[in-house]
Every structure is written in C-alpha cells, then in structure tokens.
Structure 1
Amino acid sequence: FFLNIFRLKPEDCSIIRLSAPLKKQYSIEHNLDYDRLLDSSPYKEAHRLQMIQWGERKRESDPGYFCHLATEEQDKPVWLVSDCRRPSDVEYFKSHYSTGPAPFPAYSCCVLVRVSASDEVRRSRGWGWVGGVDDGPSECALDEVSCDYHVINNGIEEQLDVKLKELLNFIHKSLK
C-alpha cells in the first residue's frame, strides 16, 4: 500500500512495523498465534491490553527495544516506519538516523509523518473506541508531538494526493 502510494520501488524502500516485533516476541513468550495478533480480529483484541502492558514493561527497561528489533536487518535507503506510538520511538529514530549513522549516511534523515483520519471515518472503516485502551499511551502519546508532514486520510483523494506529492518529492530529493 505505502510503496504504491509513494511510487517507490521495493528495492529502495522497506516498510518497518514496530508492532510486528512486539507481537512476535509477545506471541513467543505467551504461546499465541503471531499471525492472528497482526490482524484486527477478536483474537487480537482479547490480548491487546495485556500485550500493551507487556510492551510498556519492555520499554521501561529499554525504550528503543522494539525499534532496534525492527531495524536491525534493514538495508534499504528509505524506511517507512508505519506505527511509531511513543515519544521514545520518535526519539530513537531521530537520534539514530538524523545525523548520519544509518547504513546509508548520504541519505540519513528522519522525517516524522502523521497519518490521521476523523473518528467518523475511522468508525466507517471498522474502528470502535475502547476505554482504557484508545485513551492510553499506546494511542495518544504522540498527539502533542509536532510532525514534519501531516497527511489526513479521510478518503478525499485530492487532499491526500497533495500531501503525498509533497512527501514524495522530499523522498526522491533525498535519494539523489
């Protein structure tokens, strides 16, 4: 999806999901079905709160734990991190990849992009607010963090295209 939107070649770009290594480790330690934790099924929802709490404990001892797991084998010049949830996630990428220590120092740059949609649109896509989860740090911790680009995805193609073109131009300039 992201590669198509940004018109990037798979050999140039990796989609990094911080939730994937979290869910992988959690599934191993709790003998759960990893693939089912990746979807939006009732199975995942039944484990969601405990998984969030477990992830918080891991982050307390090492704030960059899941970021490191997600990036340790990445070797492409563009990384799209699809699910930063905490200020510590943002800080990890800014501190490690804004000044040049990345595998591609010529391209090293960290751009924070927020993708959002209205609650009405999110509900039409199947989302439902859950107290104690959707108002917790895993969902709200970045609400006040400023971003470099804010992409609103309420299904209005023209608005989405304008912001994506801005971001795409920046990415392509960075690759030159």
Structure 2
Amino acid sequence: MVTVQPQIVLVFCGKRKSGKDFVVSMVQEALGALCDVLRVSAPLKEQYAKEHGLDYEKLLDSSSYKEQYRVEMMKWGEEVRARDPGYFCRLATQTAIKPVWIICDARRPSDMKHFSTYNMVTIRVCASDEVRRSRGWKFVHSVDDGESECGLDDYKCDISIINDGDDQMLSNDIKKLKEIVISHCH
C-alpha cells in the first residue's frame, strides 16, 4: 500500500494517439527524480493477461497485439470497475514513493474522482484527428465511441496541452506545468 502521500498528482487524459505518453515523457524528463509515472491501465492489463494467458508486456505498448484484445479487455475492465470504481487506481499507486505522481492515462470520471482526494491538477492532451491519423489512429467502433475514449470528453481539465507538432508551444506548456509542480513541492 501507499506509504508516502504525494504533494501533487498530475492526471493526464486525452484521446488515443493524441500523444499522452510523449507529453508525459517530456514532463518526466523536466521533473526528474521528483516523480513516479503511473498507469491506471497497467494493473488492468496485467490482470487481464494473467487471466487470459496473454503477453502482459505486449499489452502495454501500442502494438497491433494490444489492439486485437482491446475491446474484450475493456469489457472485462468495466465489469471490475462496476464492482469497485477505484480498484485499478489503487493498484496503480500502491508502489508510488515520489512526491509527484503522474497518472498518464485517466479515462473515466471515476479515475478523476479517485485522484481528486489528492492535490490534483488535470491535463488534457489534445491533437487534431488529422495528426492522430498520421500517428496511426483509425476510428474503431466500440473503442473510439466508448467510455474509455469519451468518458472525459465533458470533463473540464485545469490545463489543455495541444500536441499537434508545435515543439515551441509544447515546450512552453511543459515549463508552465513544471512551475506549477515546483510551487507545490516546496
């Protein structure tokens, strides 16, 4: 279980292929040893892989392997969340020890509700559909119109980061986010 409470929790959300992982890696680089990067989806994928005899590591990346199991894995995850909405959030943070937690994959209002009990800053990573397509996104029925992609569409995040390829704008956004974090950690 968590022994160290975070000073701040950065909760990232956004559509598939918006570049959440890329932006989070930049934030992680900017913050260095202050942060733990945590995935709500990791414990879900780990349990799903165990129960279904699948390769957990392949379910973590953006491969076609993950895509062939995505719909069924999402259904399974929804069944677990129906019984316990914070289950995967608690599992994701149980080994966190740094003062800054970066949740890189919030998908549902229940994720936001869980992390709202901490000093939370929410960040939506946005990219145009054209840019997302250039990154390999194709609309998939029951995925792109499902809760895991649309559950936070109406959620008002504290910060919006446009990740359409403007490196200077992205760099400025990362600097601003770092300033917010540093102000909460001292």
Q: TM-score by structure 1 length?
A: 0.88
Counterpart selection for 1:8 from 27, 31, 35: 31
Once the two structures are superposed, residues 117-169 of structure 1 have per-residue CA deviations (whole angstroms, 9 ceiling, x without a partner) of: 11110111111111121110000100100011111100101221222222111
The residue matched to 2:157 in structure 1 has which SS?
A: coil
> How far apart in 1 are the matches of 2:173 and 2:31?
16
Q: Secondary structure at the match of 1:112?
A: strand
Question: Structure 2 counterpart of 1:62, which letter?
Answer: D
Q: 1:88 aligns with which of 100, 107, 110?
A: 110
Query: Does structure 1 residue 120 correspond to structure 2 residue 130?
Result: yes
Trace 1:6-45 onto structure 2 (pairs within 5 A).
7-9=30-32, 11-45=33-67
The aligned residue for residue 4 of structure 2 is none
- Find the structure with the greater CA-based Rg: 1
Counterparts of 1:55-74 in structure 2 under 5 Å? 55-74=77-96
1:164 and 2:174 aligned: yes
**What is residue 98 of structure 2 aligned with on the other side?**
76
Does the 8 A contact of 1:3 with 1:13 survive in 2?
Answer: no
Q: Percent identity?
A: 51
* Count of matched residue positions in the alignment of Structure 1 and Structure 2: 163
4+ residue stretches of structure 1 with deviation over 2 A?
1-6
**How much has 1:3 moved relative to structure 2?**
4.9
SS of the residue 1:164 aligns to: helix
The SS at the match of 1:150 is strand
Paired residues of 2:128 and 2:164 also in contact (CA < 8 A): yes
Task: Measure how far apart 1:73 and its partner are.
Answer: 1.3
Amino acid corresponding to residue 89 of structure 2 in structure 1: C
Counterparts of 2:66 and 2:157 in 1: how far apart (Å)? 29
Preserved CA contact (<8 Å) 2:26 2:174:
no
Structure 1 residue runs without a partner (length 5+): 98-108
Deviations 1:83-130 (A, max 9, x none): 0000000000002x1xxxxxxxxxxx1111111111110111111111
Q: More relative contact order in 1 or in 2 (CA 8 Å, sep 6+)?
A: 2
- Which digits, 9 at most, give the CA deviation of each residue in 1:8-61, with x for residues without a partner? 12x310101111111001001111110111122222111100000000000000
In the aligned structure 2, how far is the partner of 1:132 from the partner of 1:67? 23
C-alpha RMSD over aligned residues:
1.2
What is the TM-score normalised by the length of structure 2?
0.84
